[in-house]
Amino acid sequence: MTGKIKDILSKFNFGNLSIPFLSIMILPFFLLVFYTNPGTDDFNASENVVINGFVKSQYTLYQYWSGRFFSNITTSLNPLILRSFLLYKITIFVLMVSFLAVLIFFIFDIFRNSLTSNNKYLIALSVFFLYLCSMPSTAQGFYWFVSVMIYQLSLILILLFIIFYIRLTNSESLRQRNLYTFITAILSISIAGSNEIALVLILTSVFLLMIKSFYMRSKFKWSILIIFVLTIAASYFVISAPGNTARSELYSENHLFVKSVILSFKDLSEILIHWIFLTPLIPVTLILTPVFFIIFSKPNINTKLFSGNPFITFAIYLIFLFISLFIFYWITGKPPYNRTLNFIYFIFLIGWFYNVIVITGFFKIKFNVELKSLPGIVYILAIIVISFLLIRKSNIRTAYADLLRGTASKYNTELIDRYNFIKESKSDTWGIDELVNIPRTIFVADITSDPKAMCNIFYSQYFGKNSITLKNK
């Protein structure tokens, strides 16, 4: 009997089950989009444009709030400008689909001739699964337009930058080189204008790439120099914004170097322990390892991307994660918000798998190690561990609970009733009830009982009322 079980396990293709399993795990997040509703900052962003006009609103933001010129533009394109909650939901859905589509495009482009389409989908869905499963806040990640424009869109741009930079370095004709230089430069400028962490990461990356290109005497060095100069110009435009000074006054303990370094090291050690050992990362990595070995069995023009020294690449990886935390502490003096940690977590995931592939290549090339598949029992144990972590505590468990228990649907109904009640009311001053149903997967924030709070002011302006507040208990 034992021999038959081993024989079945050895012949069973777990990869055939992985993609359906991962698809089922991420499905509720797409379905929950249709129950999402604007966060308080969405009303702020839309009313700023409605009241001041698009051009003046950009000037106001740059002068009095932030130099993030690209995200200032994108957040101002809020669907609420058109007074449509349905359009808001559709936009959020399109953005989530776009994130996954670009991630798949990224994986397919990197491993274009090294892996089968099935394995490419497996890697892309695994990364997306891990991101949704353990990101610090799904609500602030994919269900809040303002946050999506500042952080998730910048991640999309980073993936596209990597794709087109690789195409630039692999281009043969001058026409291709010029085209990819232009696209990569636009992406780099846009990333720099998205948020401060993205700015520092792209500026540091382009600088290192430029140094390497000149050291290697690459024929693309002048293209990379142009990209670097334009990235510096965009970064200066962000940093020199008067709004940064006004905004920094909100943080009394910012710009403290030693404190920022200490807290960044502390946070880095804590999040690494959590993200590596308390999420499904290790069992998923284990399942993907045989796939990574295939990459070096069919070397192509992109295989050289993973030929670095694993000690150096891992050190750079840790430095980038540290910088991401340090920048936030330096600017605010506070721990990163969940929306910021979402951004850092995705950088962590991409860097993690890059280093795993580099290590795989190191053992494959240097020691001729082969790993075509894992024993069936290893797959079974990995699936058991993943299932335990999902059941114990995960965003996926919460998403299914919000969906199947009807919490998200009731939340959406509550807000639709509230919106209709406010619109139909002839009174200019309203005290409304607190929400009863709070789906943690998609809920960001509500207004307060303080009529002078900015979220209440813009909320009231959106509905054409003098004052809307929550009732005091």
* Model confidence pLDDT, tens digit, residues 262-298: 999 999 999 999 999 999 999 999 999 999 988 888 7
Residues 341 and 454 in one domain: no
Report how many domains make up the chain.
2
Q: How many CB atoms lie within 10 A of CB 10?
A: 11
Q: Same domain, yes or no, for 137 and 83?
A: yes
Tell me, yes or no, whether 136 and 236 share the same domain. yes
297 shares a domain with 430: no
pLDDT, tens digit (0-9, with 9 covering 90-100), for 420-458: 988 888 888 878 889 999 999 999 989 888 888 888 888
- On whether residue 86 sits in a domain, the answer given is yes
Residue 306 lies in domain: 2-404
Q: SS3 of 373, please?
A: coil
Token pair recorded at residue 330: 């330096």
Cα dist from 73 to 40, 175, 189, 190, whole Å:
18, 31, 13, 11
Same structural domain for residues 320 and 465?
no
pLDDT at res. 248: 79
Q: Is 410 part of a structural domain of the chain?
A: no
Judge if 135 and 270 occupy the same domain: yes
**pLDDT at 11 exceeding the cut of 60:** no
- In this structure, the answer to whether residues 177 and 257 fall within a common structural domain is yes
Residue 163 domain-assigned (yes or no):
yes
Return d(Cα 398, Cα 439) in angstroms, integer. 8
**217-244: average pLDDT:** 91
Positive or negative: CA dihedral 164, 170, 176, 179: positive
CB atoms within 10 A of CB 290: 16
One domain for residues 215 and 79: yes
Average pLDDT in the chain: 90
Mean of pLDDT values over 149-161: 97
Could you read off the pLDDT of 167-189 as tens digits, one per residue?
998 888 888 999 999 999 999 99
My answer on whether 451 and 335 are in the same domain is: no
Percent of the chain exceeding pLDDT 70 equals 95
- Same-domain pairing of 272 and 248: yes
Last residue of a domain, one of 404, 433, 458: 404
Asked if residue 409 belongs to a domain, the reply is no
